[in-house]
């Protein structure tokens, strides 16, 4: 029932998972200075660092990363601010049991700088998405989304802060659903057994 979490930075979504009681057995980072490693260690989770800069190719790094993950035999791999594009071979190896949290309402604003791009596009709703990871960037089956209203005068930082609060709500929920065996992937869609809400409209 364990989860391995991959991080690159501060680890706020990792912390949300841990505080929600998700059984995180290990946290692996591609950066030794990732603050999330301290959060994991303080909670008793094993920590590993695998610097991508020590590998000649993306494929070599992903092979080594997969081997590290397999040491913990996790039921789920959760990406939490892991700033690496994963190879198709890696995503296929963990198909159906690797998730990501993305700061936009996918399929809108795939990739980086989502909050600034949302403001530039003039959208009225923005948010975050938990999805299964597939070889295509930010394109896997969607598990749950949370939407926030874009306010007049919003900055990218202000919008990001409100979205991040919702990330901390929906990521633990999606992981719990997975561990409880409640998620059913049906083509490009995901159904939750028990019909829990898969779209949240945040009040703030």
Given the residues 52, 102, 115, 168, the one annotated as active site: 102
For the record, the structure tokens of 71 come out as 């040491």
Closest CA to 28 of 92, 94, 89: 94
Distance CA 125, CA 201 (A): 9
52 is catalytic: no
In DSSP terms, which residues pair with 118 in a beta bridge? Answer: none
C-alpha–C-alpha distance, residues 82 and 100, integer Å: 9
Residue holding tokens 């719990």? 176
CA distance 35 to 37: 5
Q: Where are the beta strands (DSSP E) in the chain?
A: 3-7, 24-29, 46-49, 76-79, 98-102, 125-132, 142-149, 183-186, 189-192, 199-201
Residues with catalytic roles: 102
């Amino acid at each position: 029932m364990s989860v391995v979490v991959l991080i690159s930075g501060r680890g706020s979504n990792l912390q949300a998972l841990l505080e929600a009681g998700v059984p995180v057995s290990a946290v692996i980072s591609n950066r030794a200075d990732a603050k999330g490693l301290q959060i994991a260690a303080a909670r008793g989770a094993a920590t590993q660092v695998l610097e991508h800069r020590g590998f000649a190719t993306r494929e070599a790094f992903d092979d080594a990363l997969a081997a590290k993950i397999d040491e913990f035999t996790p039921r789920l791999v959760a990406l939490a601010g892991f700033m690496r594009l994963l190879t198709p071979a890696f995503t296929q190896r963990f198909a159906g049991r690797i998730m990501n949290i993305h700061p936009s309402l996918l399929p809108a604003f795939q990739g980086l700088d989502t909050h600034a791009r949302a403001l530039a596009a003039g959208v009225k709703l923005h948010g975050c998405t938990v999805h299964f990871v597939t070889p295509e960037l930010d394109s896997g089956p969607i598990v749950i989304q949370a939407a926030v209203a874009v306010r007049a005068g919003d900055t990218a930082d202000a919008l990001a802060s409100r979205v991040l609060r919702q990330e901390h709500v929906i990521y633990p929920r999606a992981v719990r659903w997975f561990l409880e065996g409640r998620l059913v992937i049906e083509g490009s869609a995901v159904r939750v057994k028990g019909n829990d809400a898969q779209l949240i409209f945040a009040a703030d």
